[in-house]
Structure 1
């Protein structure tokens, strides 16, 4: 609550039920979804949030590019208000004698395209199977995370996310290597050295749009210039399969395609790392912990795909 400006707030003006509306918005980031979860109409959600903002004297939500986002003050208030959900669950247990499903609501995780598709998605499916009350959203984009970004409960990033208000931990390295289609190699020859690669079109990310410092090709292969570029790793794979040149591709993606052959395996073995991050005020949330455990469990079970021998 340290982010809230110093001012006097009359507790008699705050309705505890309005805090439930803020929690619903925190979980869904969508007014309609929050309304459905609460069994009210969308205008009621807006009205109750505005009433809470007026009582506290600070803005709690704002419109972001992917829906409603909580402000710093909104996140602080929502975190404190989670005790209300605990109390409701306790009341239900006292009456029914059952614990019910402790994990529910709407949660969002962001991840790079390929890792999100092949590792996060199956982890989320298994998490939902154990907790049907959860609605999960997976956003995929290859970008560098910073403390100023919001709109997610958990994030996967290449490298180490920036910012003191983000709590992060490394989850695994992954290997990248040079791949080409069998047809391309038959037509253009197999490069025997890294210097030979310079005679081939290299498939990689768009330099001018690169948002992750660790993906700067010059850091790993100085002097190698890409000739076919895309912001999407799956487009890079398809271009390589189509004979567009030699792609520097994640092994866990390229090895899924029998039509691709790895070249210069010993000479070129680039290693990058994935990290997992959450805002500091969210790391103790049971849903965030469950998301983290599900992703890490998936990685541990399939680490050989990320780092093939």
Structure 2
């Protein structure tokens, strides 16, 4: 058996996470044919197939699953070794950290928080991945992710960050043209804006189910788009209180009758809890989010 090369292992990890040669090629900036040759070389070195190939992509074989566990351990060890040699003398964070978050959090909370961290740590690159879906940490789409529910599967480290609140809102211009809302029953006949129903990626985001709203005439998988639709006088929507200071023309409706509480969680790879760099960044992020949610909600 020939000794596998580390660079081939790096390519193996990319194919395992992307489940295709083309996907791994985009990540590594190599053409798929080169990726395929390197995987074949690695399989020849270990003398067994690492993937089950099909029209749907590359799925790990039993041997591939075993190699993935060891490969990720080696990857973490290398990353932590590099971290131990950089940034320790000055106390500053360095390198790159990719943070996934739902777009409401990414648009209204993270800019101020991450800009503040970046000022204190100018050699640190922070990448905010704002996606209207769950970030896949196992595929290394991000180093850590903010979620609205705590995952229960996988080898993950989950920390609750903070609670946040939501209320029904409408534009002042819209409310001036309507009879006053006295009870929830008065909402009947008014258009309610929300998420595209079949694109709700977490049940915690299904706010309109709590209001028994069956039809969503205007919808978007983006929170800022929903709020901008409301600002145009198109109807009402459930909004994060922390977003309202950015939309001065909106006001709460039936504030006492319709009030929701949700939570943010920070999710990380369990193996990364030994990384001083990621632990320090996580602590700064948690403190920043708790302070920012409290500050913005106090303005509404």
Q: Secondary structure at the match of 1:276?
A: strand
Task: Provide the residue aligned with 1:67 in structure 2.
Answer: none
Q: Is residue 2:174 matched to residue 1:184? A: yes
Cα displacement string for residues 139-173 of structure 1 (whole angstroms, at most 9, x for unaligned residues): 11233467766422101111222413222121111
How far apart in 1 are the matches of 2:77 and 2:139? 26
C-alpha displacement of 1:175: 0.8
Q: Secondary structure at the match of 2:262?
A: strand
Q: Judge which range, 48-57 or 281-290, deviates more.
A: 48-57
Question: In the TM superposition, what whole-angstrom CA distance separates every residue of 1:88-140 from its partner, at most 9, and x where no partner exists?
Answer: 677x69xxxx8367744333211010211232233333333344443332111
Return closer, same or farther for 1:82/1:49 CA change in 2, 3 Å cut-off.
Answer: farther
Hey, what does 1:3 align to over in structure 2?
Answer: none
1:258, distance to aligned residue in structure 2 (A): 1.6
Which residue number corresponds to residue 158 of structure 1? 148
SS in 1 for 2:217: strand
* Closer/same/farther in 2, CA of residues 232 and 87 from structure 1, 3 Å limit: closer
Contact 2:204 2:262 in 1 (8 A): yes
1:187-219, CA deviations, whole angstroms, 9 ceiling, x for partnerless residues? Answer: 123311111112311111111221111122354
The change in CA–CA distance for 1:219 and 1:148 in structure 2 (over 3 A counts) is farther
Aligned residue number for residue 65 of structure 1: none
Aligned residues: 277
Partner of 2:106: 116
2:282 to 287, 292, 300: 292
The one of 181, 194, 204 aligned to 1:214: 204
Equivalent pair of 2:76/2:271 in contact (CA under 8 Å): no
Give the TM-score, by structure 1 length.
Answer: 0.71
1:224 deviates by 6.3
Question: Cα–Cα, structure 1 residues 183 and 85, in superposed 2: closer, same or farther, change >3 Å?
Answer: closer
1:80 is aligned, of 66, 70, 74, to: 74
- For the residue of structure 1 that corresponds to 2:193, the secondary structure is strand
SS of alignment partner, residue 300 of structure 1: helix
Matched, 1:172 2:162: yes
Q: Aligned partners of 1:125 and 1:220: how far apart in 2?
A: 36
Relative distance call for 1:53 and 1:285 in structure 2 (3 A) is farther
1:7 corresponds to = none
Q: Partners of 1:85 and 1:115 in 2: how far apart?
A: 28
Alpha-carbon RMSD across the aligned residues, in angstroms, is 4.0
Q: Distance in 2 between matches of 1:166 and 1:101?
A: 27
Structure 1 counterpart of 2:293, from 274, 283, 303: 303
* CA contact 1:19–1:81 (8 Å) conserved in 2: no
- What SS does the corresponding residue of 2:185 show, helix, strand or coil? helix
**Per-residue deviation, 1:180:** 1.0
